[in-house]
A = this chain, B = another copy of it.
Amino acid sequence: MKPVTVYDIAKEANVSVATVSRVLNNTAPVKASTRERIQGLINKYQFQPNALARSLIKKATGMIGIILPDITNPFFPEVLAGLEQEARKRGYTYFLCDTGSSNQDIKDQYKRESQYLNILIEKQVDGIIMIGGRIDLHKCSKEMANEVAEVNKRVPLVFINGNLPGARYHRVVVDETAGAMRVTEHLIGLGHRDIAFIGGYPQMSNTVRRLEGFRMAMERAELPVREDWINHGGFSVQRGKELMDRLLGMEGKPPTAVVCANDLVGIGAIKAAVKAGLQVPRDLSITGVDDVPMAANVIPELTTLSLKCRELGRTAANVLHLLISKSEPVELLTTLQPELVIRESTSPPAG
């Protein structure tokens, strides 16, 4: 059976399509009796207006796109949850564009970003939010940056925790440098002097920022930074284990505390430390960054830096909505303050 259209409704109600449209959109007064007649038919046929046709005219689709690198990393669902809430409230639905670093060849991640960018434009989304991927690159290639700049000209665009050279973007960020400083200072305040930093990728700006905060805190406390205690390699639990193993395998006195680039690495670090016979935090304090739900569920519960994931998502959706509705001018940069969450994985050093 063919889907019913405004014409079908109009014909059966003995009115014109214009009138049907009017009751559909409440865009002009309609006589109560005809309105009821039409409404009756709408209910009878469970008529649902075709949003494609509507959007084609209105030049607005109520759809936005979210491009992210890996929904499987628990950080992103948290951000999404915040985003969803705000988006739904404003009447948007969203395309989730996972560039799938967990599934597919990670080398193609940026290619998939480009594809999704194009697809979203063709689908006429009202706006796009990007998080992770190329906007986290410390040095992004001119071509990749350019692509995004072009998109930015065509449709409202908001970055979460990232940036790109060559254009001015609307960004919602959390001050990771200050946050990493706070984490490190917490450790220093506890009495630690020998502190390592593991995880992340040196070519990613989030890692650079977190490491920078770490260094600033150490410097301010006049503590030496052991360069061989700074090791990168990724953001996964597996990486955390490996990096911690390496740290534990080094000659000489080990660190008494380890700042991890994110919670997953921190969880891996705990695993490796426990497996090596250490007690956390007695023998070794460990911290994370993100405050994903699991951070509160591991044993011992992970001291971490809350990146305010949900608020980040809500805020980004909000900024994007403001941009779309053009109701008011929007600040380019919105900065949230992260929050130190002290749990069980940190304590004064033993001895």
Interface residues of A, Cβ cutoff 8 Å to B: 3, 46, 48-53, 55-56, 61, 63, 70-72, 74, 76-78, 80-82, 84-85, 88, 93-98, 100, 102-104, 112, 116, 118-124, 150, 154, 237, 267-268, 270-271, 274, 293-294, 297-299, 310
Contact = CB atoms under 8 A, between A and B. Distances in A.
A178 B294 CA distance: 29
Given A56-B50, A121-B48, A294-B294, A78 B72 contact: yes
A157 to B, nearest CB: 15
A53 B53 CA distance: 8
Tell me the dominant secondary structure on chain A's binding face: helix
Nearest to A85: B103
A55 B89 CA distance: 27
A61 B52 contact: yes
A63 B50 CA distance: 14
B72 A81 contact: yes
B104 A97 contact: no
B51 A122 contact: yes
A271 B299 contact: yes
10 contacts: A52-B55, A52-B56, A56-B56, A71-B84, A76-B77, A93-B119, A270-B299, A271-B297, A271-B299, A274-B299
Contacts of A267: 297
A49 B122 CA distance: 6
A97 B94 CA distance: 8
